[in-house]
Structure 1
């Protein structure tokens, strides 16, 4: 592990770029979801991603290893949760709600993961974690209800729509992907595990896209839509993954995860600059509370586990 003084500046710049790329996926996803069927859009994204991941695996690791039966099931689980289910919910949410509002939900993933580990795997949560979870929950409630907390108690259906529910589904799918990843990475490198998961996900998405082909209108495949799909595949998936794990290798997972807090910030800013979306006061207050809560949770993780 490199000390703080010896870490190249390029590592920090790359992690900031990763957060920028992942924040940009909400804008690209919003553009794509408005024009073409979701399954076809997601399949296009991972067709691009798989091509580049296969090239990366060949150049960095000399190819992909053969999988054991257990690894096949594990990577299939990754593909089903983190690729197939996540992208269905992700694009369905972006069709129904603004990109900036959707981006704020990504901050909930570490909180939902911590709660899931506590509920299903009896992982103990310290006081600081519970405090962080509570603050993040309040912030998420502010975002969900658009700041109308009292009104939402009487008419929750009017403040929480199908878009919010789909985005919560995406968070749950990513949580399952994260938890399964611990099992899938046993005996596999991150590149190999992600490539196999993406290949499984591409297969599932392609099968799901077959019934949607009659709905595809070629005139809607504008350069903006094609560019958005390419961005999702290259920058949002492949390059983001490579640079993120470079950060994990040099800084450790705890310090690298802190940069995830920039994702909703970039998502909200880009949605305002590119899509001209309105930034609500409730989004700023709720988003700040969520990020604060996640930061407290991550700080507790670092204190308990140390840097790996």
Structure 2
């Protein structure tokens, strides 16, 4: 399941990049989140015998503001403003963020070896960021990287705080109720853009991207992710995304002819080494 998650999310970077050529980034995210919410809501209704308590539902919705609201704003704006490979490589260091935040909150207790791996990941991420800043990636590349870093921080807090609920709430219910928070955020931030949207002018590829990103990446990918968090915990689950940046780089090469810089490749090597060291 987690290999499938990495594949779905790795391809999704290029899908989002294509979609934001046709949609405003926040509008695209609002559409795919709404689509995922409808599907997951129907699935959750079919499993209403596994419904969480009202207390858990409220807390999951609030967590969803962070994990599907703040995170998704940073994700889509970051990918829209930077190269696909840069975005994927920075997100690859998210287990380091999760390990640090988890230690702060008392939900994770990394070993010395894991801390060494985290240090390697952060050093590699710095190399990727520096490489993207020195490359001719367009005027928006720096702002895109900052959006991505903000998204990584939001995802780290979300993953660490979610762990206690993942142990007792069914993955479908977990995904549906956290998406409530994301829908609430996008009902506000994407509303002006949705009013400007002229759906009749959009090509089929734009709608295909919305369907892929909403169903495959958000529904299937997140269900696999929540299952991993429940069984393995957030840090080990995040480390299964080792394949994600590699898949994203390969797809971006064929889709957009993106070639990473030497500094970015060096940073990527450090990130991957850190992930392996942390998992060992």
User: How far is 1:186 from its partner?
Assistant: 5.8
Instruction: For 2:249 and 2:92, locate their aligned partners in 1 and report how far apart those are by CA, in whole Å.
Output: 12
Matched, 1:115 2:115: no
Cα distance, 1:105 vs structure 2: 1.5
Check if 1:238 corresponds to 2:219: yes
Partner of 2:161: 180
CA distance in 2, matches of 1:165, 1:23: 20
Query: In structure 2, what is the equivalent of residue 38 of structure 1?
Result: 25
2:3 aligned with 1:21: no
In structure 2, the gaps of 5 or more residues are none
Q: 2:208 — aligned with what?
A: 227
Partners of 1:147 and 1:38 lie apart in 2 by 21
Instruction: Tell me how far 1:121 sits from its aligned partner.
Output: 3.3
Q: Is the CA contact (8 Å cut-off) linking 1:135 and 1:289 kept in structure 2?
A: yes
Q: Distance in 2 between matches of 1:142 and 1:21?
A: 26
CA contact under 8 A between 1:144 and 1:164: conserved in structure 2? yes
Equivalent position of 1:196 in the other structure: 177
Partner of 1:101: 86
Alignment-derived partner of residue 67 in structure 1: 53
SS in 2 for 1:278: coil
Count matched residues.
276
1:275 lines up with 2:256 in the alignment: yes
Q: Is the 8 A contact 2:60 2:177 kept in 1?
A: yes
Unaligned 5+ runs, structure 1:
1-13, 152-157, 300-308
Greater alpha carbon shift after TM alignment, 85-94 vs 112-121: 112-121
When Rg is computed on C-alpha atoms for both structures, the one with the higher figure is 1
Give the direction of change, closer, same or farther, for the CA distance of 1:116–1:146 in structure 2 (3 Å limit). same
> d(CA) in 2 for partners of 1:122 and 1:67?
22
Alignment partners' CA distance in 2, 1:163 and 1:199 = 26
Residue pair 1:33, 1:92 contacting (<8 A) in 2 also? no
SS of 1:237's equivalent in the other structure is: helix
- Please point out which of 165, 168, 179 is paired with 2:149: 168
* C-alpha deviation, 1:140, in angstroms: 0.8
In structure 2, the residue matched to 1:259 is 240
Q: Which of 189, 206, 216 pairs up with 1:208?
A: 189
Counterpart in the other structure of 1:82: 67
The corresponding residue for 2:273 is: 292
Query: Displacement of 1:257 after TM fit?
Result: 4.6
State the Cα deviation string for residues 251-276 of structure 1 (Å, max 9, x = none): 74576554311011111111111222
| Alpha-carbon displacement from aligned partner over 1:108-167 (angstroms, at most 9, x marks no partner) | 21101111223343955432122111211211111010188xx8xxxxxx9971111000
Report SS of the residue matched to 2:190.
helix
What TM-score do the two structures reach when normalised by structure 1?
0.79
Deviations 1:224-246 (A, max 9, x none): 11111111111101112334455
**Secondary structure at 2:93 match in 1:** helix
Q: C-alpha displacement at 1:93, in angstroms? A: 0.8
Q: How far apart are the structure 2 equivalents of 1:298 and 1:141?
A: 21
- Which piece of structure 1 moves more, 77-86 or 159-168? 159-168
